[in-house]
Chain A
Amino acid sequence: MSLDPDAPLRFSPLHRLQWEEAQQRHVILYPEGLVELNATSAEILKRCDGEHTLRTIVEELERKYQTEGLTDDVREFLEIALENGWIETAA
């Protein structure tokens, strides 16, 4: 199953995404767990707000980092995030 580029994505209500001052990075918090994120992963997840889609996230990041061809990397990460339940497709 591959991700529909136009499906709106939102961060899971059962997880929390937060900046950790002590670690100088974003983390995902959930029962019994903590995932440390690198800067790009955090940029992607921050945009999962129920409005953004794979397509619009890629557009924004390509603009932000002044680059192209991010689709595959972003898709790959979003699929992992979906599988882990960090995000969901907003119906």
Chain B
Amino acid sequence: MKTAGSKPPLSPPRWLLAELTYACPLQCPYCSNPVDFARHKEELTTEGWKRVLSEAREMGAVQLGFSGGEPLTRPDLEELVAHARRLGYYSNLITSGYGLSAERIAALKAAGLDHIQVSIQAPEQDLSDWLAGTESFAHKKQVARWVKEQGYPMVLCVVIHRHNIEQMEGILEMAVELGADYLELANTQYYGWARLNRAQLMPTREQFERAEAVARRYKERLKGKMKIYYVIPDYYEDRPKACMNGWGTTFLTIAPDGAALPCHAARELPIDEFPNVRRMSIREIWEESEIFNRFRGFDWMPEPCRSCDEKTKDYGGCRCQAYLLTGDMTATDPVCAKSPHRHLIDQAIAEAEAPPEAPLVFRNPKASRRFFET
């Protein structure tokens, strides 16, 4: 069953990301959903999701994220949360907060939800609403307050890019004002819609460095009060991130239609069909499917990774980033200074100094259909 050779022993999944739906009332231009998301319409049923949760838990998954799209659009969310709680998951609702009421927050708590991560686009109304493509700022702040009041750990998430990076201070002050226990400052990763809009989203090196200094200052100051996770934009590094802690080692994403992905961005890889939970058990998918085995271990690696002693640290970087930039999903992640494609990253950095004029493409079904309808 398991492939022979120098493959390390198989580890069970620990984190499960359940993307319940691609439906979303917001239109963030940096959304990490696949650009052709509107192609996948058939969502798993309540029973289908329950089976996914049960099977993954049995294998050892314990951290669970309910995400999307906007998971609140699923009327069975409370039922799924209750099922997850019974199984012993630590579950997180990753939401835009859109349409969330104090009553529903309480109902989710009663069902056993552990925490809610609310994303806010920017620290001021006009910009936040523009980026969301929806009037939502005031309500999001209200949601954050309710989450806090009801005794959840309050996790605020802000995706950072050139339109809000200058407001790092305002973002941190907003997090303080709202009493966030955790603040995730997620520099945009260029997948999905973000890749499409990269020239309009990528900050310059100077902007990035200034913002990072502000974040570092607050991190020091808020120690013990607020935990700040600062997700670095890896374009400005010279080594890639250890993507997903290694392909098929820790993370499992199930897309709305039941496709199983080693990472939420993997749907953009040139793979015709991902294994689907409608046809296979989670165990079969994790242990036996060709796709989950494809980039496990080190045998698949080309040079310069193959003979590099850092490969156990970063696993050659991100397969999706390699593919999106070089067209070859087995290539060394071009972020690496040793990659023969590093110039592609340097070009993008140079472009950030003088980005071409172009409108942002907002994420919605109409824009998505352009990617598969002719």
Which residues of A come within 8 Å of B, CB atoms? 13-14, 16, 18, 20, 22-23, 27, 29-32, 34, 83, 85
B153, A14: Cβ atoms under 8 Å?
yes
Q: Counting chain A CB atoms within 10 Å of each CB, which of B14, B60, B62, B229 scores highest?
A: B62
B181, A29: Cβ atoms under 8 Å?
no
Tell yes or no: B155 within 8 A of A by CB.
Answer: yes
Knowing A20-B60, A23-B60, A83-B224, say if A29 contacts B12 (CB, 8 Å): no
A interface footprint on B78-105 (CB within 8 Å = 1, 0 otherwise): 0000000000101010000000000000
A29, B14: Cβ atoms under 8 Å?
no
B59, A22: Cβ atoms under 8 Å?
yes
Tell yes or no: B204 within 8 A of A by CB.
Answer: no
Tell yes or no: B182 within 8 A of A by CB.
Answer: yes
Q: How far is the CA of A16 from the CA of B89 in the complex (A)?
A: 10
User: Nearest CB to that of B116 among chain A residues?
Assistant: A31
Complex A-B: 9 CB contacts under 8 Å: A14-B181, A16-B114, A23-B60, A30-B153, A31-B117, A31-B155, A31-B182, A34-B62, A85-B227
Tell yes or no: B296 within 8 A of A by CB.
Answer: no
Inter-chain contact total with CB atoms closer than 8 Å: 40
Which residues of A sit under 8 angstroms from B153, Cβ to Cβ?
Answer: 14, 30-31
B63, A34: Cβ atoms under 8 Å?
yes
Which residues of A sit under 8 angstroms from B63, Cβ to Cβ?
Answer: 29, 32, 34
Q: Counting chain A CB atoms within 10 Å of each CB, which of B12, B90, B92, B224 scores highest?
A: B90
Tell yes or no: B115 within 8 A of A by CB.
Answer: yes
Q: How far is the CA of A13 from the CA of B92 in the complex (A)?
A: 15
A interface footprint on B148-185 (CB within 8 Å = 1, 0 otherwise): 00010101000000000000000000000000011010
Kindly identify which residue among B62, B88, B92, B224 contacts A31, using a CB–CB cutoff of 8 Å. B92
Which residues of A sit under 8 angstroms from B224, Cβ to Cβ?
Answer: 83, 85
Which residues of A sit under 8 angstroms from B59, Cβ to Cβ?
Answer: 22
Q: How far is the CA of A6 from the CA of B114 in the complex (A)?
A: 31
Which residues of A sit under 8 angstroms from B115, Cβ to Cβ?
Answer: 31
A32, B90: Cβ atoms under 8 Å?
no
Which residues of B sit under 8 angstroms from A85, Cβ to Cβ?
Answer: 224, 227
Q: Counting chain A CB atoms within 10 Å of each CB, which of B151, B153, B181, B229 scores highest?
A: B153
Knowing A16-B90, A30-B153, say if A22 contacts B229 (CB, 8 Å): no
Minimum C-beta distance from A79 to chain B (A): 13
Q: How far is the CA of A18 from the CA of B155 in the complex (A)?
A: 21
Which residues of A sit under 8 angstroms from B114, Cβ to Cβ?
Answer: 16, 29
Top 7 nearest A-B pairs by Cβ distance? A22-B60, A29-B90, A14-B153, A31-B155, A31-B115, A31-B182, A31-B153
Minimum C-beta distance from B280 to chain A (A): 20
User: Nearest CB to that of B153 among chain A residues?
Assistant: A14
Which residues of B sit under 8 angstroms from A18, Cβ to Cβ?
Answer: 88, 90
Minimum C-beta distance from A20 to chain B (A): 6
Q: Counting chain B CB atoms within 10 Å of each CB, which of A18, A32, A83 scores highest?
A: A32
Kindly identify which residue among B62, B151, B155, B182 contacts A20, using a CB–CB cutoff of 8 Å. B62
Which residues of B sit under 8 angstroms from A27, Cβ to Cβ?
Answer: 62
| 8 Å CB interface, B322-355 against A | none
Minimum C-beta distance from A87 to chain B (A): 13
Minimum C-beta distance from A21 to chain B (A): 8
Which residues of B sit under 8 angstroms from A83, Cβ to Cβ?
Answer: 224
A interface footprint on B221-243 (CB within 8 Å = 1, 0 otherwise): 00010010100000000000000
Q: Counting chain B CB atoms within 10 Å of each CB, which of A18, A29, A83 scores highest?
A: A29
